[in-house]
Amino acid sequence: MQVFSSSDHHAHHAAEFDGGTLIPSWECPERADIVDAALRADHRFAELFPLDWTLVQRVHDDGYLSFLEGAWARWQTTESSDAAMGTIWPTRGFRTDRVPENLTAQLGHYSFAIDCSIVEGTWQAIRSSAQLAQSATHAVIGGERVAFGLCRPPGHHATADQLGGYCYLNNAAIAAQQFLDSGTARVAVVDVDYHHGNGTQSIFYARDDVVFCSIHADPGHEFPYFSGYADEMGHGDGEGFNHNEPLGLGTGFDEWSAALDRCLARVTDLGCDAMVVSLGVDTFELDPISRFTLTHDDYPKMGEQLASVGLPTSILLEGGYAVEDIGINVAGVLQGFENR
């Protein structure tokens, strides 16, 4: 399997609030380093393809992209702290149709959670992460059966114009759009992260050229709380093309695997021609911020299931915060996929 990786992710190590305390983010550079090391022996690390910025612009709002590019420099002219993050948000009763000129207000306008700050190297890292997603997808379009993008920061929580959940640019949505622009008629995005991929859902919610399926913890109890319920099935042209499988806390592999079977049946029934996998391994039993109970032995089985639909597939890294185990679990998924 071709793997696409970059050291640019080291430029980004953000902060987040956890229990009212500002801490280094759980989404840390070591995550990608350990996955990289775990894959070196068994996979081909390939040269990156150039970043196609027009694909990013097809997915994300131009104003949001301009904000991301300039936020850190602007922050440095007004503040002295090491991380920029929102402190006020346009919640119910506030206007959302106007973008304020004030940077603090823009940090709120363009975010939905306080777990996702901007630091000096964030712009470099998120551009590189999008390039990895594009490179893996480019390889698949070029004839590879499957390729893996070791994306960091992750992307599935990022909407067209908001960051949150450690995510800034939606790598999976960019990859799906790349497939479509290459001539693929319909693309599946299968999200197996512990948390609902609210950003990917929102981007494609009214479209029928992308089938979005997500297996995740019940949002009544887990982030992102306000998205990911079973009755969210798409809108307008997208009605019937969105499928959520919210599962209870403590879910093990048998129940989880049955949910994946239902998702993959939707992918097949709706005639998808290619697949993007948002691969989060925070479903692991020892993950510090998640509460499913999958084990090391379950991840190769997951890979085999994903491969069973027989589609050209771009696999992109999302979550997984049991840092010592993340390499074992990602390698297991990729090996299971290849062995199918």
Q: Which of 43, 60, 156, 157 is catalytic?
A: 157
Burial of 257 (0-12, 13-18, 19+ CB in 10 A): middle
* 157 part of the active site: yes
User: Which residues, in sequence order, are CB contacts of 95 under 8 Å at separation 6+?
Assistant: none
Kind and range of the H or E run holding 2: strand 2-4
Task: Please state, in angstroms and rounded to a whole number, the distance separating the CA atoms of residues 114 and 209.
Answer: 32
Task: Please state, in angstroms and rounded to a whole number, the distance separating the CA atoms of residues 155 and 55.
Answer: 15
Q: How far is CA 179 from CA 6, 194, 220, 275, in A?
A: 22, 25, 33, 9
Pairing state between β 44-45 and 21-24: unpaired
Nearest alpha carbon to residue 326 among 278, 293, 276, 286: 286
Burial of 78 (0-12, 13-18, 19+ CB in 10 A): exposed
User: Which residues, in sequence order, are CB contacts of 24 under 8 Å at separation 6+?
Assistant: 13, 15, 16
Residues shown for the chain: 340
Q: Which residues are catalytic?
A: 157
